[in-house]
Amino acid sequence: MCGIVGVVGNENATDILIQGLEKLEYRGYDSAGIFVAGKGAGSLVKSVGRIADLSAKVGDKLEGTAGIGHTRWATHGKPSEVNAHPHQSQTERLTLVHNGVIENYLEIKEKYLADHELKGQTDTEIAVHLMGRFVQEGLSTLEAFKKALHLIQGSYAFALMDAEDADTIYVAKNKSPLLIGLGDGYNMVCSDAMAMIRETSEYMEIHDKELVIVKKDSVQVMDYEGNAIERGSYIAELDLSDIGKGTYPYYMLKEIDEQPTVMRKLIQAYTDENGAVAVDSAIISAVKECDRIYIIAAGTSYHAGFASKMMLEELTGKPVELGIASEWGYGMPLLSQKPLFIFISQSGETADSRQVLVKVNELGFPSLTVTNVPGSTLSREASHTMILHAGPEIAVASTKAYTAQIATLAFLAKAVGEAMDNEKAKSFDLVHELSLVAQSIESTLSEKELIEGKVKELLETTRNAFYIGRGNDYYVAMEASLKLKEISYIQCEGFAAGELKHGTISLIEDGTPVLALISANPVIASHARGNVSEVVARGAQVLTIVEEGVEQEGDDIILNKVHPYLSSISMVIPTQLIAYYACLHRGLDVDKPRNLAKSVTVE
Ligand code: M6R
């Protein structure tokens, strides 16, 4: 949800900014801009569209040693050059980039900027005009920034430059991610370490409501009153090859293909030298001590929570309730006496989930974040963290994170169940079963041609479709349908197969594509088959994805049978490929679907 990069003290500032923005493009891609200073007057270049458009516009004419850049996902005002960041103060002395949403921007505009002429509709432009006004009134840039930070309410990561001092970037954050990268003779600021790994592996965290003065040879952290804060740095050895596409045409396909490896990495990460499941004992105790688990998440991560519910309940004996993060932000339902909150989030930055975590912390309840990004906001602020070990997920459509989330929760469920002497947990050979899942995924991945052919027949031109399933297959249907609509723009519903006949079946007509998911539970399978017959009788064109053991003649995609606790992992793979090929055949952008961003850091 918008990406920020900044650098100070480097001759190649423009290149660093453009390359950083390319790596941040997954966070927003409707428009972008950079401000470069240090050699003569600062220059501002903005463009609608992708970073490639910005880069073409910048060419090789911008020289400087410092600058800030931004890639945008519009919140206030449509994507356009005037609304693209960076924004400048009235005199153009101050230049600002921002990620987040300023809640009281209209109030600020009315109270402080009635006589200011604003060019666009963004809350950010109001923020920089406010800072500029304070400078015009005689404050130093630092004091003006501080004063504005006291007035601004909402979420933000800010990077501010002053044309009269090209050696400094002023930075502050609240509820939006931002960190410092420490280079050799220069320093950086960025929304995500991934965009700085070419330059450095040494980083420094910024906490909410901290202000940082970044110069080429110093980084000063302080609170909004100006009191100095000591902050050490840390080394994170990220692998550059992880963030490249390699020979793949799209990140999504690469990430789909990586899933067997991720399953094996998780086995390594959550077993000890004897091959026994090993999860942090403090996390096991937290689950043992709770009387109910509340899983809070959004989108695909929410679906992963559902897919893990039965397994968690059966192995830990604790009831599991799911909450959509954006809804729970308004108010909690009646909670149990000893709740444990589990936040599932690939990015660890989702603002909707974070607002619930803030409340959970205020209430003093324990929490666990299950995330792909160590050091992310949700990880830092929760009592405990489990890492997904999926490697960077760059495509907006989440694939390997979903399967890693279910597998990670399986390790948690198994470890807690064993610690509680649960018979089912003791007899569940997770390491073996997950190895079988990895094999099953590999076998599905070898059927890409078959799947692509089915997609061409069924989904190349349709406007709508249904995924149906029962039990855990219903939860997979929810995820499969999100994936399909997210990147192919086909209106698709994930439906409990048995619920169709209670109303929605009236939408089925000649040729409506219905994709049925049927895993190897004989009772569920036989009921699901009945529902398939009902839609066939009404003209639906059906594609069946079926686990071995309950297959029938004419089924389209047959999957290896895996343990029921893990069948959602194997069942989702063909649906990821279906979404991928549907998008490809409709000529759409696989990795960057319209209107979306990878990391949703606004509420
Ligand atoms: O980073 P998170 O897992 O918290 O993100 C939550 C959702 O925004 C995310 O899962 C989204 O639904 C996916 N990108 C969809 O593929």
- pLDDT digit string (tens) for 575-596? 999 999 999 999 999 998 888 8
Q: Whose CA is nearest to atom 8 of ligand 1?
A: 299
Beta strand pairing status for 367-371 and 384-387? Answer: parallel
Q: Identify the bridge partners of residue 545 per DSSP, sorted by sequence position.
A: 517, 557
pLDDT category at 52 given cuts 50, 70, 90 is very high
Ligand 1 atom with minimal separation from the 297 CA: 4
Cβ atoms < 10 Å from Cβ of 272: 8
- pLDDT digit string (tens) for 105-136? 999 999 999 999 999 988 999 999 999 999 99
Q: What is the 3-state secondary structure (H, E, C) of 527-577?
A: HHHHHHHHHHCCCCEEEEEEECCCCCCCCCEEECCCCHHHHHHHHHHHHHH
pLDDT category at 1 given cuts 50, 70, 90 is low
Mutate to test the pocket of ligand 1, among 255, 346, 592 (most ligand atoms within 8 A of CB): 346
- Measured in Å, residue 300 CA sits from the centre of ligand 1 at 5
Q: For residue 498, what are the contacts with CB-CB under 8 A and spacing of at least 6? A: 470, 527, 531
Q: For residue 93, what are the contacts with CB-CB under 8 A and spacing of at least 6? A: 132, 135, 162, 163, 164
pLDDT category at 387 given cuts 50, 70, 90 is very high
**Active site residue ranges:** 2, 598
- Measured in Å, residue 162 CA sits from the centre of ligand 1 at 36
Asked if CATH classification 3.60.20.10 holds for the domain at 3-241, the reply, yes or no, is yes
How is domain 446-592 classified at the CATH fold level? Rossmann fold (3.40.50)
Ligand 1 atom with minimal separation from the 600 CA: 8
Check pLDDT > 90 for residue 521: no
Tokens at 388, concatenated = 């997904």
State how far Cα 324 lies from the chain centre.
15
Q: Whose CA is nearest to atom 4 of ligand 1?
A: 345
Mutate to test the pocket of ligand 1, among 27, 301, 396 (most ligand atoms within 8 A of CB): 301
Mutate to test the pocket of ligand 1, among 296, 398, 408, 598 (most ligand atoms within 8 A of CB): 398
Using alpha carbons only, give the angle 469, 473, 475 rounded to the nearest 5 degrees.
100
Buried b (16+ CB within 10 A) or exposed e, 30-42: bbbbbbbbbeeeb
- Measured in Å, residue 591 CA sits from the centre of ligand 1 at 14
Ligand 1 atom with minimal separation from the 298 CA: 6
How is domain 245-428 classified at the CATH fold level? Rossmann fold (3.40.50)
Ligand 1 atom with minimal separation from the 378 CA: 4
- Measured in Å, residue 561 CA sits from the centre of ligand 1 at 28
State how far Cα 329 lies from the chain centre.
18
User: Dihedrals φ, ψ of 345, to 5°?
Assistant: -160, 115
Provide the residue ranges of all domains of the chain, joining segments of one domain with +. Answer: 3-241, 245-428, 446-592
- pLDDT digit string (tens) for 55-65? 999 988 788 99
Helix 448-459 vs helix 567-585: crossing angle, to nearest 10: 60
In this chain, the answer to whether the domains covering 245-428 and 446-592 adopt an identical fold is yes
What does the longest C-alpha to C-alpha distance in the chain come to?
81
Q: For residue 492, what are the contacts with CB-CB under 8 A and spacing of at least 6? A: 464, 465, 466, 467, 481, 484, 485
Mutate to test the pocket of ligand 1, among 322, 350, 388 (most ligand atoms within 8 A of CB): 350
DSSP 418-486: HHTT-HHHHH--HHHHHHHHHHHHHHHHTTHHHHHHHHHHHHSS-SEEEEEESTHHHHHHHHHHHHHHH
Beginning with the edge strand found earlier in the chain, give each strand of the sheet holding 513-518 in spatial order. 491-496, 464-469, 513-518, 541-547, 557-559
- Measured in Å, residue 86 CA sits from the centre of ligand 1 at 27
Q: For residue 272, what are the contacts with CB-CB under 8 A and spacing of at least 6? A: 278
- Measured in Å, residue 602 CA sits from the centre of ligand 1 at 13
- Measured in Å, residue 85 CA sits from the centre of ligand 1 at 25
Q: How many residues does the chain have?
A: 603
Mean pLDDT of 494-505: 93
CA separation for the pair 8, 161 (Å, rounded): 10
Q: For residue 453, what are the contacts with CB-CB under 8 A and spacing of at least 6? A: none
Helix 259-269 vs helix 400-419: crossing angle, to nearest 10: 30
Cβ atoms < 10 Å from Cβ of 138: 8
Q: Identify the bridge partners of residue 384 per DSSP, sorted by sequence position.
A: 368
Residue 2 Rama label (left phi>0; alpha psi -120 to 50; beta): left
- Measured in Å, residue 282 CA sits from the centre of ligand 1 at 27
| Mean per-residue pLDDT over the chain, rounded | 94
Q: Whose CA is nearest to atom 10 of ligand 1?
A: 300
Check pLDDT > 70 for residue 246: yes
CA separation for the pair 311, 414 (Å, rounded): 9
Ligand 1 atom with minimal separation from the 300 CA: 10
Check pLDDT > 80 for residue 25: yes
The pTM assigned to this predicted structure is 0.82
Check pLDDT > 70 for residue 86: yes
User: Dihedrals φ, ψ of 76, to 5°?
Assistant: -115, 115
Residue 152 burial (C-beta neighbours within 10 Å; 0-12, 13-18, 19+): buried
Ligand 1 atom with minimal separation from the 402 CA: 10
Residues with C-beta less than 6 Å from any ligand 1 atom: 298-301, 345-347, 350, 353, 396-398, 482, 486, 599-600
